[in-house]
Amino acid sequence: MKRYLETGNFAITEGAILAGCRFFAGYPITPATELAEAMSLRLPQEGGIFIQGEDECAAMHLCIGAALGGYKAMTATSGPGYILYADPYGWAIGCEIPLVVVNSGRVGPVSGITGAPGQGEFYLTRYPTQGGNFETIVLAPNSAQETMYMTVKAFYLAERFRTPVTILADQLITDGFEDISVPENEGEMKEMGFEVYPRRVNNGPVFYPPTDEIDIPPVVLGKNTGALCSDWTPTEEGYDIEEVEAHHKHAYRLIYKVRNHRDLVEDLYEKTHMDDDPDLVVVSFGTPSRVVNTAVKKARAEGLNVGALRLRHIWPFPDELFSTPRKYLCVELNWDGQLVREVQRAAPKDAEVHFTGICGDLPSIADLLETFTKILQGKALERQGWKMEAW
Amino acid sequence: MDYLANKYLRFRKTPSTACTGCGLGINHKAVLQAVYELGLEVEDVVWGTSIGCAGRQTFGMWKGDGFAGTHGRVYAIARGLRLALPPEKKIILTVGDGDAFGIGLLHLIHAARSNADLTVVVNDNLGYMSTGGQYGWTTPLGTRTDSSPYGMYEQNLVREGMDVLGVLQHAGATFLARHVSMDGSRATGSIKKAIQNKGLSLVHMIYPCPTNFGSRELGTRDALSIYNWIRERSAPLEKAGEDTLWATGVYHDASNSRPEFSEDILKNVEKIRRAAAV
């Protein structure tokens, strides 16, 4: 095992290589550029290919083409680029193409603040393309080391579910320097929980089974299997068709192959002080969760009955974690509150769901402690101008 | 076309659902004839298509492996695929004019810049006929469509000095030709050269659309009228006059003159990998 003081981008690059990724296409955008640069340096050393696309749309399509030819492929971008992935994302979902997509979140909308972290793409990762009728898988790391693990996991899930998988990080994770351990052999990989799933070839003629079955080999072109895939609603053999019944079958598969096999994803929760039924549960993902954890531990020391729940995967959404009618507080790196809406939907009617958000910077522990106290005392969260909006 | 259909096309997808009198089938046959005359088998080719009339009608017809990309993006997909396939495997893309010269032009230019070994056959029915008949980027000036009811007055990409083939030549394409559907063996000859070029080749093929273009511009869906209308406006390059809209033949042949995209990249990757292994 080798230790480095390196960034999350380094961790993603090494994780991808360990997972068998040998193709990366991207388009420069802060703060995801460094990941593309790291890939351009490392991939050729491993016999892999780096390509800079003419735009984001091309970058993801290049990955799709390479994946269709049998490569494990990855791309990375930030919010303004992620929205340009909408077109190829839909194609990859519909054609069931395994792919890993990294979104290093920054402040938006549009260009916003290029060099500050944000979590404005919570919902965009759930609905990354038009048309609906699908489910997505999104992982949300909160450290460089975990980012490497999740990159390997993302490739594993992409292959088994035959779908693109998003890693929703933020700028603090991808650009921040941390202590990182990289496994050097299979034994060390196993020890660290890294599991690699091989690329397989669909030998046709069936393009998809109209069931929720997973572990179906993906379409690989060039093997003369007669494989077909397109942007139109497919028949089970892959032909284009304009019939609602065929679409229903295809949509059923795209939704339920993920929902009905959530056990493959669901080891990804982190609970802090949750064993004694806390009065207030603080919910977060990504880097804010690190501050939340410290604040919750501090609150406990001060006698507040608070627990923390960190979502390490955010889609499919873990509704069951919010079945207890109690007080919830969502802490997010945005002003508008996105995770909170989903928690409110999943929580029972008599639960209290609160939100506090800050964009471009992490919340302070002092502010969080004050917020915990107010909620526990039943006081309303005061509006403090633009600083903190009661949701 | 029986021998070509039996050898190369899926029975499930034939006959196509193209409109009566559509010229797309003639273009499609010219491509298959070229493939046949080059002695290629089903397993030698991966066939890509796009959207619109050309995409919908040619998707899945090839017996072998095939795909249809989203609007204008097929060139980026094909470049990615090119990197993954063995160099001897041919990638043939039958696309439409809107896909190639409108929404996909940026990607096409970069396919030309990088000289990716792709054969692009642009089936041009002079506008967006699949969506009902709106003007496109090669719609002749003055002609009426659903979105140019007063006659097309926007500058387009087939005018002197603004020819899209010139744009692609300057972008680095290594084989460029233009034909109309009725060119027969001349068109097949150009497509053969296109397939043989190890680089980005594009053959622009004008074809008649009686249903939309013909009915709007000529006031009739009679197939013969639009066939004659196109024929009267086309001539071989050496015989082209001032009234010629489509001069036909090979515009630019720099076949095999530049390094090919995927071979070049894989060569460099191999060099770096070896250096890293030392």
Give me the pLDDT at residue A385, please. 46
The reported pLDDT for the residue numbered A386 is: 47
- Tell whether A47 lies on the interface with B, counting CB pairs under 8 A: yes
CA distance A208 to A250: 8
Q: Identify the CA nearest to B94 among candidates B157, B138, B45, B44.
A: B45
Residue A233: pLDDT band (50, 70, 90) is very high
A106-117 residue pLDDT tens? 999 999 999 899
Place of tokens 């088994």: A160
DSSP, res A321: G
Beta-strand ranges (E) seen in chain B are 45-49, 66-68, 90-96, 118-124, 127-128, 134-135, 175-180, 200-206, 234-236, 246-253
Smallest Cβ–Cβ distance between A54 and the set B63, B64, B110 belongs to B110
3-state secondary structure of A307: strand
The amino acid present at A146, given as its one-letter code, is: E
Two structure tokens written together for B199:
């680089």
B49 to chain A: nearest residue by CA?
A: A230
| A369 SS3 class | helix
Question: Which whole number is the average pLDDT over A353-361?
Answer: 91
Helix, strand counts (H, E) of chain B: 11, 10
Q: Which of A53, A228, A232 sits opposite B76 (nearest CB)?
A: A53
Nearest CA-CA partner of B91 in B48, B133, B146, B150: B48
- Can you tell me the distance from the alpha carbon of B194 to that of A112, in angstroms, rounded to the nearest whole number? 46
Please name the member of B68, B265, B268 whose beta carbon is closest to the beta carbon of A232. B68
**Cβ within 8 Å of B, A 62-91:** 62-71, 73, 87-88, 90-91
Q: Is A259 exposed, middle or buried (0-12, 13-18, 19+ CB in 10 A)?
A: exposed
User: Across the interface, do B65 and A70 touch by the CB < 8 Å criterion?
Assistant: no
Closest CA to B140 of B160, B126, B150: B126
How many whole angstroms separate alpha carbon B45 and alpha carbon B138?
29
CB contact (8 A) between residue B65 and residue A61: no
Cα gap A318→B116, rounded to integer Å: 45
Nearest chain A residue to B262, by CA: A49
Rounded CA-CA distance B35/B46 in Å is 12
In whole angstroms, what is the distance from residue B95 CA to residue B31 CA? 12
Average pLDDT over residues A334-341: 93
Say if CB B27 and CB B123 are below 8 A apart.
Answer: yes
Place of tokens 């397989």: A200
- For the stretch A124-163, pLDDT in tens is 999 999 999 999 999 999 999 999 999 999 999 999 999 9
Q: B167, B173 in Cβ contact below 8 A?
A: no
Min Cα separation B55/chain A (Å): 10
Residues from chain A that touch B42, judged by Cβ atoms under 8 A, are 224
pTM: 0.96
Cβ burial A66-97 (10 Å sphere, 16+ → b, else e):
bbbbbbbbbbbbbbbbbbbbbbbbbbbbbbbb
Distance in angstroms (rounded) separating the CA atoms of residues A347 and A309: 14
Amino acid, res. B61: M
Q: Which helix (H) or strand (E) holds A181?
A: strand A177-182
The reported pLDDT for the residue numbered A21 is 98
Interval A251-275 mean pLDDT: 89
Residue A266, pLDDT > 90, answer no
Nearest-angstrom CA–CA distance, A110 and A54: 19
Mean per-residue pLDDT over chain A, rounded:
94
A-B CB pairs within 8 A amount to 145
Q: Cβ separation of B65 and A51 shorter than 8 Å? A: no
Residues of chain B with pLDDT under 50: none
What are the distances in angstroms from CA A134 to CA A129, A130, B229?
10, 10, 47
A49 in reach of chain B (CB within 8 A): yes
Supply the pLDDT for residue B119.
Answer: 98
Sole residue written with tokens 């063995």: B86
Considering only CA atoms, which of B18, B107, B79 is closest in space to residue B54? B18
Residue A303, classed as helix, strand or coil, is coil
Residues paired with residue A283 on neighbouring β-strands, in sequence order: A309, A330
Element (H, E) at B7: helix B2-8
Kindly report, residue by residue over A56-92, the tens digit of the pLDDT.
999 999 999 999 999 999 999 999 999 999 999 999 9
Check residue A382 and give its pLDDT.
Answer: 66
Alpha-carbon distance B3 to B21, whole Å? Answer: 22
The two three-digit tokens of residue A371, written as one number: 């917020």
Contact criterion met (CB below 8 Å) for B205 and B122 = yes
Contact B252, B173 (CB under 8 A): yes
User: In this predicted structure, what is the pLDDT of residue A380?
Assistant: 80
pLDDT score at A384: 53
The residue in chain B having the minimum alpha-carbon distance to the alpha carbon of residue A63 is B80
> What integer is the mean pLDDT of A306-335?
95
Distance CA A173, CA A11 (A): 10
Q: Is A225 on the interface with B (CB under 8 A)?
A: yes
As a whole number of angstroms, the distance between CA A139 and CA A166 comes to 6
Q: Name the H helices within B85-145.
A: 97-98, 105-113
Compute the distance between CA of residue A290 and CA of residue A142 in angstroms, rounded to an integer: 7
What DSSP assignment string belongs to B142-175?
A: T--BTTBTT---S--TTSTT--HHHHHHHHT-SE
**C-alpha angle B229/B234/B235, rounded to 5°?**
145
Ranges of H-type helices in chain A: 8-19, 33-42, 56-68, 79-82, 86-94, 122-126, 144-161, 171-175, 186-191, 244-259, 288-301, 339-346, 365-376
Closest-CA distance of chain B to residue A315, Å: 26
SS3 B178: strand
Pairing state of beta strands B200-206 and B175-180?
A: parallel
CA dihedral for A313, A391, A103, B114, sign (positive or negative): positive
